Structure 1
Amino acid sequence: MATDYGQGYGHVMGADVEDRWGHGDQGGYGDHSGYGDHGGYGSQPGGGRGEGRLSRLPAALRAPLEGRTWREFLYVMLSFPISIIGFVFAVTMLSVGVGLLVTFIGIPVLALGLASLRGFGSLERMRARTLLGVDVKDPHPLQPRGGGFMAWMGAMLKSGVSWRHVVYAVIHMPWAIFSFVVTTLFWTYGWAMLTYPLWFWLFPMYGGQDGIQLYGDDGHRIYLDNPFEIGLTAATGLLVTLATPWIIRALTTVDRVLVFGLLGPSRLVSRVVELESDRGVVVDTAAADLRRIERDLHDGAQARLVALAMDLGLAKEKLTEDPEAAARMVDEAHGEVKVALQELRDLARGIHPAVLTDRGLDAALSSLSARCTVPVDVEVDLPARPAAAIEGIAYFTVSELLQNVSKHSGAGRASVDVWQVEGRLMLQVSDDGRGGADVSGGSGLAGLAERLDAVDGILVVESPLGGPTVITAELPWRG
């Protein structure tokens, strides 16, 4: 570190069950699992050689060169002017609108201002999607009660989404300025110090100085000008440069939270839409069940009973003429009655088994496992019975999964575990089969997942090729 005592100033760098619960024949085991040669690993389309070489570096070293870092840096740089414009517009709109509320003019001013800020929110969501990778859905459109400008103004002023856009415009401006200052400071000084060995010659050649001045007064100046100090400066710059991407990511995390929390759809509205969708699933399922019951009765028991009535009529006519033939026909009718009764029992079991109503899940699942083609261990540990509807869903869920085990898994043994955790009913069906179960569109597991989702349930499938398969279902207790 050189000391110069010259004059002047230096430079400072200053089954039924299958039909009811998603068609068990499409159970999703075997070759259609999606875990084969078309998996998500290997070469990715669109990846260049440079990107592949960059990915071999440790994350800490490649972060300053990654596209994500530069996109986030661009987001912070753009946020500075955009946030100021949004802040000024929001404050001006509120001030003018509130000030004019004593007249009628203030109401349309506020409504138009809120509509403009919703457009501003669309720009911010687009920036977040493009530069931050935040997939924020657009809020639900206004639904004015009636037509005309007055109805639109009322809906705009009552919309919580509109006022959340105002809050975003107001609070995002100071944060954007802070992020801009911090990012610019670290980014500029980091790269400047890192590259100092490449351009330190500029000062003695063109500035008449020995290097970067750290201190100076009328008779005393300190510069960075010897190899050790230059190397130390570059090393410090390297550390700052490597740390800057992570600082930028921490800053943009707050931006992600603000965009997601203030510019996205309302949680209440999203919940209403979700419930409406779930209600549609439930209605469709109920309609499908009614059609199935009607079809089974028409094609099964009803047809047998019609044939039985005809056979008994013929037997009655032959009773006096040919008693032996009549006896044979009555015997055949007796057999048809047994078959019809069995079909009705199966149909009733597919609607709601009596053992489930009378004795609960433990007995019902034990009876169900006894009909499985592989040995099944059943363990039910529940402090009480859940709601009847949830109990029925749990039964048919296990029934569907055991049907899949029987038909598609090739397992030698399976198990069913049921327990309660924090107000949730947990079901787990596992087997030692070939694995490869897949919750994809069109499979029985996909249909089952939709039906569980309709009652706020969750289906999780873990089924690597070669097994074992563990499928866990979570349902609300509601007991």
Structure 2
Amino acid sequence: MSGVSRVAGRVARVLTACGRGLVQAAVSQFAGVPLLVGSLLSIVFLPLGLGVLTAPVLLRGTRAFADTQRRWAREWSGVPIASPYRPLPRIEPGPAGRVELCRQLVRDPATWRDLLWLLLNVPVGALLGVLPAALLVNGLGGILVAPFLVALTTAHHLYWTLNIPLGALCLTAVIAAAPLIVKGHALFCSALLAPGRGQLSARVDSLTDSRTQVVDASAAELRRIERDLHDGAQARLVALGMNIGLAEQLIKHDPEAASALMVEAREHSGQALSDLRDLVRGIHPPVLAERGLDGAVRALAMSMPFPVDVRIELPGRPEAPVESAVYFAVAEALTNAAKHSGASRAWAQLSHDHGRLVAIVGDDGIGGVCPTAGGGLAGVERRLAAFDGVLVVTSPVGGPTIITMELPCALSSPKT
């Protein structure tokens, strides 16, 4: 029975490989060719504005098709292919948003590698996909059909006779090599669809740069906390101790002066406590710890000098560092709108989809916002980069300004 099982298993593997090869061949022609032609035409017509509507759809379709090939390579042949795509921010509806999305897609080197793969996969996918099935059909024809034709016909007798050893050779080849041929196609896909060395190097440089910026920002934050403690709470506590000491000396000889010093000491203690509370709010706002990101953003919106529409759809809570980063990012965006935009209203949206937290802050102000080195938005960008997040600003002159922040994160269970 074990021998029969091994034979049955080998036959199943060969038939499975042939079927998978035919699927690869079919999709390379009937899905790859339309995607390639449509994507290239859309990119060509982008300067005329004609490709703005079709380019995002077709290029995203190309990515989905390439991701399917990556999944097949992993599941069918054990060839893992990492995804090389840069994270795309969620773009607001409208012409400006679609133009920004097209720009992001076209600037991504992975887009052009996908298109090159589509082009080369037309012949390679067809050849490697059909080859196992062709070998199987020729092998079975040579072994099962050719002997009957040799016995029953006299015409082309030599031709059918030669087909018998040729069929045996083809059948041997397909039994030995069918899964390897499918794996060869997976390796071909890996060569083009995996992140290139330049992309990996750029990714390492980006992570190194973001880590350096985060370390520098953390050091600057520690210095600020030290300075605030030294100049604020510490100074008040020293004055408090001196007043209490003087009051101890005067309480027997001059009770009125001692009482005045104690009143002043009580004022210093209240001011020191207020300074400490302000310092703690700057590190991690208590409302964020108590009410979560949802409640903290709503409280922040209520403190703005103009109406802020808030829409939050979070089925759980992010991890504390991510929660803090998003809160301060939203706070910076709203504060900038209040100070510089001249807006009459603003809005804030938070959502979580496919493992990514998206925060969108907009206002109806004068627009023209551009992140500058050392500015608040540049600091937000550094803060998000520590979590592999991105920030995109869409702010034409005349408004509106839309700031989109997106970073990968998991949410806790609502029960938790």
Q: Which residue number in structure 2 is paired with residue 289 of structure 1?
A: 221
CA–CA distance in structure 1, aligned partners of residues 208 and 271 of structure 2: 42
Structure 1 residues 326 and 430: alpha-carbon distance in aligned structure 2, compared to 1, 3 A threshold: same
**Displacement after TM superposition at 1:476 (Å):** 1.2
> Deviation per CA, 1:77-105, whole angstroms, max 9, x where unpaired?
xxxxxxxxxxxxxxxxxxxxxxxxxxxxx
**Displacement after TM superposition at 1:135 (Å):** 12
Q: Which residue number in structure 1 is paired with residue 117 of structure 2?
A: none
What CA RMSD, in Å, does the superposition of the two structures yield over aligned residues? 3.3
3-state SS of paired residue (1:275):
helix
Structure 1 residues 473 and 135: alpha-carbon distance in aligned structure 2, compared to 1, 3 A threshold: closer
Task: Tell me if 1:331 matches 2:236.
Answer: no
CA–CA distance in structure 2, aligned partners of residues 371 and 315 of structure 1: 41
Structure 1 residues 477 and 318: alpha-carbon distance in aligned structure 2, compared to 1, 3 A threshold: same
Structure 1 residues 264 and 335: alpha-carbon distance in aligned structure 2, compared to 1, 3 A threshold: same
CA–CA distance in structure 1, aligned partners of residues 330 and 206 of structure 2: 25
**Displacement after TM superposition at 1:307 (Å):** 1.2
- Tell me the amino acid that sits aligned with residue 384 of structure 1: G
**Displacement after TM superposition at 1:266 (Å):** 4.3
Q: Which has the higher helix share?
A: 2
Q: Answer with 291-300 or 460-469: which moved more.
A: 460-469
5 Å matches for 1:24-423?
Answer: 265-423=197-355
3-state SS of paired residue (1:420):
strand
CA–CA distance in structure 2, aligned partners of residues 448 and 324 of structure 1: 53
Structure 1 residues 346 and 316: alpha-carbon distance in aligned structure 2, compared to 1, 3 A threshold: same
Unaligned 5+ residue runs, structure 1? Answer: 1-58, 61-133, 137-170, 172-258
CA–CA distance in structure 1, aligned partners of residues 108 and 308 of structure 2: 44
CA–CA distance in structure 2, aligned partners of residues 374 and 263 of structure 1: 46
> Deviation per CA, 1:144-173, whole angstroms, max 9, x where unpaired?
xxxxxxxxxxxxxxxxxxxxxxxxxxx9xx
CA–CA distance in structure 2, aligned partners of residues 383 and 327 of structure 1: 56
Residue 389 of structure 2, aligned match among 457, 464, 477: 457
CA–CA distance in structure 1, aligned partners of residues 296 and 195 of structure 2: 49
**Displacement after TM superposition at 1:383 (Å):** 0.9
CA–CA distance in structure 2, aligned partners of residues 419 and 262 of structure 1: 30
CA–CA distance in structure 1, aligned partners of residues 219 and 266 of structure 2: 34
- Tell me the amino acid that sits aligned with residue 358 of structure 1: E
Structure 1 residues 283 and 401: alpha-carbon distance in aligned structure 2, compared to 1, 3 A threshold: same
CA–CA distance in structure 1, aligned partners of residues 263 and 364 of structure 2: 46
> Deviation per CA, 1:14-42, whole angstroms, max 9, x where unpaired?
xxxxxxxxxxxxxxxxxxxxxxxxxxxxx
Q: Which residue number in structure 2 is paired with residue 444 of structure 1?
A: 376
CA–CA distance in structure 2, aligned partners of residues 311 and 375 of structure 1: 46
**Displacement after TM superposition at 1:298 (Å):** 0.8
3-state SS of paired residue (1:360):
helix
Structure 1 residues 304 and 465: alpha-carbon distance in aligned structure 2, compared to 1, 3 A threshold: same
3-state SS of paired residue (2:349):
strand
3-state SS of paired residue (1:466):
coil
CA–CA distance in structure 1, aligned partners of residues 219 and 391 of structure 2: 23
CA–CA distance in structure 1, aligned partners of residues 208 and 359 of structure 2: 26
Structure 1 residues 389 and 262: alpha-carbon distance in aligned structure 2, compared to 1, 3 A threshold: closer
3-state SS of paired residue (1:435):
coil
Structure 1 residues 277 and 299: alpha-carbon distance in aligned structure 2, compared to 1, 3 A threshold: same
Q: Which residue number in structure 2 is paired with residue 112 of structure 1?
A: none
CA–CA distance in structure 2, aligned partners of residues 332 and 373 of structure 1: 35
- Tell me the amino acid that sits aligned with residue 204 of structure 2: V
CA–CA distance in structure 1, aligned partners of residues 361 and 320 of structure 2: 21
Q: Which residue number in structure 1 is paired with residue 113 of structure 2?
A: none
- Tell me the amino acid that sits aligned with residue 364 of structure 2: D
- Number of corresponding residues: 233
Structure 1 residues 466 and 354: alpha-carbon distance in aligned structure 2, compared to 1, 3 A threshold: same
3-state SS of paired residue (1:465):
coil
CA–CA distance in structure 2, aligned partners of residues 263 and 363 of structure 1: 40
CA–CA distance in structure 2, aligned partners of residues 424 and 335 of structure 1: 48
3-state SS of paired residue (2:251):
helix
Task: Tell me if 1:474 matches 2:406.
Answer: yes
Whether contact under 8 Å (2:304, 2:338) holds in the other structure is: yes
Q: Answer with 323-332 or 337-346: which moved more.
A: 323-332
Whether contact under 8 Å (2:214, 2:382) holds in the other structure is: no
**Displacement after TM superposition at 1:283 (Å):** 1.4
**Displacement after TM superposition at 1:260 (Å):** 9.6
**Displacement after TM superposition at 1:463 (Å):** 1.7
Whether contact under 8 Å (1:390, 1:476) holds in the other structure is: no
> Deviation per CA, 1:416-469, whole angstroms, max 9, x where unpaired?
211112111111111222222111333221222232223211111122222222
- Tell me the amino acid that sits aligned with residue 303 of structure 1: A
- Tell me the amino acid that sits aligned with residue 276 of structure 2: L
Structure 1 residues 261 and 380: alpha-carbon distance in aligned structure 2, compared to 1, 3 A threshold: closer
- Tell me the amino acid that sits aligned with residue 250 of structure 2: K
Report the TM-score, using the length of structure 1 for normalisation: 0.44
3-state SS of paired residue (1:321):
coil
CA–CA distance in structure 2, aligned partners of residues 427 and 262 of structure 1: 30
**Displacement after TM superposition at 1:329 (Å):** 2.0
Task: Tell me if 1:425 matches 2:357.
Answer: yes
**Displacement after TM superposition at 1:261 (Å):** 8.3
**Displacement after TM superposition at 1:334 (Å):** 1.4
**Displacement after TM superposition at 1:271 (Å):** 2.8
Structure 1 residues 287 and 468: alpha-carbon distance in aligned structure 2, compared to 1, 3 A threshold: same
Q: Which residue number in structure 1 is paired with residue 68 of structure 2?
A: none
- Tell me the amino acid that sits aligned with residue 393 of structure 1: A
**Displacement after TM superposition at 1:288 (Å):** 1.4
Q: Answer with 267-276 or 406-415: which moved more.
A: 267-276
